Amino acid sequence: MRIRYDNSKIEKAFSDLRQMQKAHGKDFAKQIVKRYSEIEAMPYFSEYLNLGLGKPHSLEGVFSGCYGLSVTGNVRMVIEPVCDDLSPESLKNCDEVILKGVVDYHGQKYEWIIP
């Protein structure tokens, strides 16, 4: 699957693993890269959802139209499928997502780790 970035800061963070490890710690960076690699390996977004890796779940509110993928207990990678709608049929043909960032959105706060 193709992965685009919501902004250049996110692209820069994901293009330099060493810097990500330095900024967020080796284990945390490893979990982020693991989720990224899992998404990238799937041909279609529906296949990723069916596997259940990272406990994908649809989001509401400011993240409506996006999915959250667990990185750690409260931290989620937020991705937006590039498709007509979020119906199962549309997601079957979805081969591109936009990486919005990595965030802790629990407790009515939005603490961006990778904005």
> pLDDT by residue for the chain (115 residues), tens digit each?
999 999 999 999 999 889 999 999 999 999 999 999 999 999 999 999 999 999 999 999 889 999 999 999 899 999 999 999 989 999 999 999 999 999 998 777 788 888 8
CA nearest neighbour of 58 among 83, 33, 41, 34: 83
Q: What is the pLDDT of residue 98?
A: 97
Distance CA 115, CA 111 (A): 9
Output the pLDDT for position 111.
Answer: 87
pLDDT at residue 73 in the model: 87
pLDDT at 70: 95
Cβ neighbours for 58, distance < 8 A, ≥ 6 positions apart: 66, 67, 86
Rounded distance between C-alpha atoms, residue 87 and residue 16, angstroms: 34
Please tell me the pTM assigned to this model: 0.90
The pLDDT score that the predictor gives to residue 102 is: 95
Q: Which domains does the chain have, with CATH numbers?
A: 2-114 (3.30.2310.20)
pLDDT number for residue 39: 95
Distances (CA, A) of 1 to 4, 48, 80: 10, 10, 13
